[in-house]
Amino acid sequence: MKILILGGDGYLGWPTAMDMAAKGHEVCVMDNYLRRNMAQETCSEALIPMPNLHERARIFAAESGKTIDVVIGDCADYRVLERVVRDFAPEALIHYAEQPSGPYSMRGFDEAKRTFDNNLGATFNVIWAVKEHVPDCHIIKLGTMGEYGTPNIDIEEGWLNVEHKGRQQKFLYPRQAGTLYHTTKVLDTDLLWFYVRTYGLRVTDLMQGPVYGLSTEQSDINQQLLPNFHYDDIFGTAVNRFLVQAVAGVPLTVYGKGGQTRGYLNIRDTLQCVSLAMETPVEKGKLRILNQFTEQFSVNELAERISRVGNAMGLNVTVESIDNPRKEPEEHYYNAIHSGLLDLGLEPHYMTDDVIASMLEQVMTYRDHIDVRKIMPRVRWK
Ligand code: USQ
């Protein structure tokens, strides 16, 4: 298939591009280095230095014999995106091209505005470029489990049947996010749903939980193909941060009481989920929503597991509860349904002790790159 990947330089975009190319698809990636630039501006550089996209594509081609086309351009600029969509004419478009950090979006007006303009602008442009030029193309959009927040009832997969005064209707599941970033994803879903039901687009919205891991099958070929792995407070996610903290010998930073529960998944399972979604396109006029994670953990459980495995490996891992910089429930009910992707054939890589140990070993090879000044929270919204 012809696959266009927007945000192809990102933590998930680049591994997805290699995975799809390795499977024999014709792949084009587009990115404007927004996240690289934001990381530099906020002193949040990744653990492992990353070649630029052209260089990564060159190394991948030399190692695998597979080509990935690269376009450096801004998806929030309609004329630029429109030209790429029209000329490449994708059968599937995978949309990762968003500012992905909750803390960044809560840093101040400029960061909030940039998040809002980029994320909504890119999604709006994707919808229009597809509607105008490739209306049969399957849009696979990366949403987030954070759209739902932490309601006191079970989280369904995207939709909720509501019975009210004796009548029934299926609605998008109620959503109430905890950051502006997560709220832009709620708005994305609403935009997609409006255009799906109005113009008959075909869309899969993948509600993904926090992803962890440093490597994938294709990145294992050459260290220069590794995903960009952040461990700072702005772009790093909980598990990846804890792995680095364990190796650096600083206490694991549990925010507040640590009862915050989320659905997590291994980066290798992100690739599986996106592939499964792509291989089973939805009908025109349908918005399919799938909850994309494999296991639920509280922050305390994550810290306990990583410290236990780290200590068994001879690291000196301690855990410290610090004042929570975020405004979020620290103890809450959480039960999210996630059967859709399993029904499509997902075979999860669970977070076993062996998986944690191998991730710690990988981080240990980059121990000298760790800058402990990047670890404590710098952005507060409480
Ligand atoms: N947390 C800690 N200590 C830390 C870092 C985080 O206790 O050092 C806590 C947070 O307070 C939060 C939980 O861990 O309760 C998850 O935080 P996170 O930073 O791993 O994840 P989040 O901010 O929600 O965002 C990440 C990605 C985002 C994606 C989202 C999926 O950055 O792109 O959409 O995970 S989800 O969380 O399901 O919305």
Q: Is residue 178 part of a domain?
A: yes
pLDDT digits (tens, 9 = 90+) for 83-111: 999 999 999 999 999 999 999 999 999 99
- State which residues form the domain around 122: 2-374
Q: Which whole number is the average pLDDT over 21-47?
A: 97
Q: Report pLDDT digits (tens) over 40-76.
A: 999 999 999 999 999 999 999 999 999 999 999 999 9
Residue 381 lies in a domain: no
In the chain, what is the greatest distance between 2 CA atoms, to the nearest angstrom?
Answer: 64
Assigned domain for 313 exists = yes
Q: Is the pLDDT of residue 196 over 90?
A: yes
Residue 379 belongs to a domain: no
Residue 380 lies in a domain: no
H-type alpha helices, the chain: 13-22, 34-41, 53-64, 78-88, 102-105, 109-133, 180-199, 238-248, 267-279, 299-312, 340-344, 353-364
Position 237 pLDDT exceeds 90: yes
pTM: 0.97
Atom number in ligand 1 closest to CA 236: 19
Q: How many domains does the chain have?
A: 1
Note whether residue 224 is domain-resident: yes
Cβ atoms 155, 337 nearer than 8 A:
yes
- What is the predicted pLDDT for the residue at 73? 98
Q: How far apart are CA 188 and CA 194, in angstroms?
A: 10
Active site residue 144: yes
**Is the C-beta atom of 334 inside 6 A of ligand 1?**
no
Q: Looking at residue 38, which CATH number applies to its domain?
A: 3.40.50.720
Pocket test for ligand 1, best of 176, 231, 255, 320 (most atoms within 8 A of CB): 255
Predicted confidence band of residue 382 (pLDDT cuts 50, 70, 90): confident
- The verdict on the CB of residue 146 being under 6 Å from ligand 1 is yes
Which residue is catalytic, options 66, 185, 212, 253?
185
Expressed in angstroms and rounded, the spacing between residue 165 Cα and the centre of ligand 1 is 38
pLDDT at 48: 94
- Ligand 1 contacts CB of residue 102 (under 6 A): yes
Active site residue 204: no
Please check whether residue 382 lies inside any domain of the structure: no
